[in-house]
Structures are given as C-alpha cells and as structure tokens.
Amino acid sequence: MRKFLSFLLVLVMVLSLAVAVGCQKKEEAVPEAPAPEAAPAPAPEAAPAPAPEAAPAPAPEAPPAGH
C-alpha cells in the first residue's frame, strides 16, 4: 500500500510537471503564432504526450524518498 501511494504521488508530480511545461510551451507559442486559431489546436495534443514518457523516469526516485 505504501509503495502504491508513493507511486501515485510521483505520478501526480510528473503529470503536474507535464502540465506546467505544456502551459509554458503554449504561452511561448501564442506570441510567435500570428493566427490564434492555429496555436490552441496543437497545444492540447502535445501536452499529454510527454507525460507517459516522463512517468517511468521518476519511478526509481520514489523508493529512496520513502526510505
């Protein structure tokens, strides 16, 4: 149960980090893109993509934190 909670905590942190990075990319893309309709379309698709890739990396850090 404790490992599950640690994993869940890491997963939430990774997802929040992915959302933060996605928001930063979206803010940076808005001034560069002259058409406001074109920028919001790719942003939602790009934000969820990094989450699955980043999730396995922090997992090994969870056991030392719980220790």
Specify the number of domains making up the chain.
Answer: 1
Per DSSP, 39 falls in state T
| Per-residue model confidence (pLDDT) at position 35 | 56
Alpha-carbon separation of residue 47 from 11, 32, 43, 61 (angstroms): 15, 18, 6, 23
Give the residue numbers spanning the domain of 32.
2-48
Q: Are 18 and 46 in contact (CB under 8 A)?
A: no
Is the pTM for the entire model greater than 0.75? no
| Per-residue model confidence (pLDDT) at position 46 | 46
The CA angle 33-38-41, to the nearest 5 degrees, is 125
pLDDT tens digits, residue range 8-65?
999 999 999 999 888 887 766 655 555 555 545 554 444 445 444 444 455 545 555 5
pLDDT of residue 2 exceeding 80:
yes
Residue 61 inside a domain? The answer is no
Residue 56 inside a domain? The answer is no
Residue 8 inside a domain? The answer is yes
Residue 63 inside a domain? The answer is no
| Per-residue model confidence (pLDDT) at position 44 | 47
Q: Are 12 and 58 in contact (CB under 8 A)?
A: no
| Per-residue model confidence (pLDDT) at position 19 | 92
Residue 67 inside a domain? The answer is no
